[in-house]
Amino acid sequence: MATNALYRIGPAGLLLSFLALITGCYSFSPAAASAELSTYYVHTTKDRAPNTPPNLSTRFTDDLQNKIRNESRLVPNDETPDVEFKGTIVGYRVTSEAPEPGETTALNRLTITVEMDYINHVDETQDFRRNFSFFFDFPPDQDLSLVEEQAVSEIFAQITEDIFNASFNNW
């Protein structure tokens, strides 16, 4: 009898039932920041990497501030924050990847690395200093200046996501 009931539901019904069960068991909250945390401060990011475009550090600072403001309940506080972020861009390089015969490559790769100090004044055991890095691949016949805006946007989106998760979700 139960087999016939499942058969009548069909695969789509089973999938919907499974998703309903999962969403009932798991919260898709953006940040699982500790309840003791209520404020944050993002220091202006330093730039110590050669050949970076102007204002790259300011852009990263803004992106990280927006990520925290939009995806957590924390509010900014530059005087006595519960958590602080101190970042430094330590790598900005273009490399040739996927070598091909004849000294050519199949793609170029822009890689950006940010060193991040996370200081938790509520629970110092959560503090860390870690490098976060991500890359963007583009064709070798395309100049970086043509894809740089998109590349930096995608790289910073991933790096800020990784920093956010490491800080608030213990990833």
- pLDDT for 33: 65
Can you name the residues that pair with 41 across neighbouring β-strands?
84
Rg (CA), the chain: 22
The CA distance from 64 to 162, in Å, is 11
For residue 92, give the nearest of 161, 129, 128, 144 by alpha carbon: 144
pLDDT of residue 14: 43
**Residue whose C-alpha is closest to residue 36's, from 125, 128, 129, 132:** 125
- Give the dihedral sign, CA 147/150/138/130: positive
Q: What pLDDT is recorded for position 170?
A: 72
Q: How far apart are CA 42 and CA 86, in angstroms?
A: 6
Nearest residue to 77 via CA among 55, 59, 162, 69 = 69
Each of the 171 residues of the chain gets a pLDDT tens digit; together they read 455 544 455 554 444 444 444 444 333 344 456 788 999 999 999 999 999 999 999 999 999 999 999 999 999 999 999 999 999 999 999 998 877 676 677 899 999 999 999 999 999 999 999 999 999 999 998 999 999 999 999 999 999 999 999 999 876
Q: pTM score, two decimals?
A: 0.79
Eight-state DSSP code of residue 78: S
Kindly tell me the burial class for residue 1, based on how many C-beta atoms sit within 10 Å of its own C-beta (0-12, 13-18, 19 or more).
exposed
Q: What is the pLDDT of residue 26?
A: 37
State how far the Cα of 170 lies from the Cα of 32, in Å rounded to an integer: 9
In the chain, the domains with their CATH numbers are 32-168 (3.30.160.150)
